[in-house]
């Protein structure tokens, strides 16, 4: 046997042992039971508290806003996309209020000029378009096709 192999074989054996030892500590026990993922994560996620209520829950009290949105470009977007998780507000509407989006940067998260974004989303160059005003001063976010001014 060549002398190089006499040195390499023990090194490979040590490497394989260290790899298997690290794998036993780092890979969760349920990984691979039902597929290529951690199977216990399904039960763990079911136990988490729900924070999103859904557009239907908003419709119970805010049907006028929902009807407005259903006639315009934002009809496919959930209320919680802009106003944040709503289950706490649904549970206690008098004391917990949804987030009110403010500022150009908020609308810009979806509508700022970005060549990689789909052309279906209306894009605006925020550095040039009405730089002194907030978007909602001219645009109703529930009816974005209709201008306020």
Q: How many Å apart are CA 109 and CA 91, to the nearest integer?
A: 29
Q: Indicate if 87 and 113 belong to the same structural domain.
A: no
**Residue-level pLDDT at 42:** 86
pLDDT beyond 80 at 13: yes
Task: Tell me, yes or no, whether 55 and 76 share the same domain.
Answer: yes
Q: Find the DSSP H helices in the chain.
A: 3-26, 40-47, 55-59, 63-70, 79-83, 87-91, 104-111, 135-138
Residue 148 pLDDT = 67
pLDDT in tens, 29-81: 888 888 888 888 888 889 988 889 888 889 889 988 888 888 878 888 889 99
- For 83-127, write each residue's pLDDT tens digit: 999 999 998 989 999 888 888 888 888 888 888 888 778 888 888
Look at the chain and report how many structural domains it folds into.
2
| Torsion sign across C-alpha atoms 68, 85, 102, 74 | negative
Task: Examine the domain organization and report whether 41 and 64 are in the same domain.
Answer: yes
pLDDT at position 111: 87
Clarify whether residues 94 and 109 are in a common domain.
no
Counted residue by residue, the chain has a size of 149
Point out the domain boundary residue: 68, 83, 99.
Answer: 99
Same domain, 69 and 108: no
Range of the domain at 120: 101-149
Q: Assign residue 103 a region: left if phi > 0, alpha if psi is -120 to 50, beta otherwise?
A: left
């Amino acid at each position: 046997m060549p002398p190089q192999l006499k040195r390499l074989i023990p090194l490979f054996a040590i490497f394989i042992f260290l790899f298997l030892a690290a794998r036993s500590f780092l890979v969760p026990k349920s990984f691979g039971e039902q597929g290529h993922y951690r199977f216990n994560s399904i039960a763990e996620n079911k136990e988490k508290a729900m924070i999103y209520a859904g557009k239907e829950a908003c419709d119970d009290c805010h049907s006028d806003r929902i009807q407005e949105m259903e006639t315009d470009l934002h009809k496919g977007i959930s209320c919680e996309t802009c106003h944040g998780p709503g289950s706490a507000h649904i549970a206690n509407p008098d004391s917990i209020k949804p987030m009110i989006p403010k500022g150009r940067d908020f609308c810009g998260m979806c509508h700022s000029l970005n060549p990689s974004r789909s052309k279906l989303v209306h894009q605006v160059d925020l550095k040039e378009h009405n730089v002194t005003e907030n978007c909602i001063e001219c645009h109703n976010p529930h009816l974005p096709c209709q201008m306020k001014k």
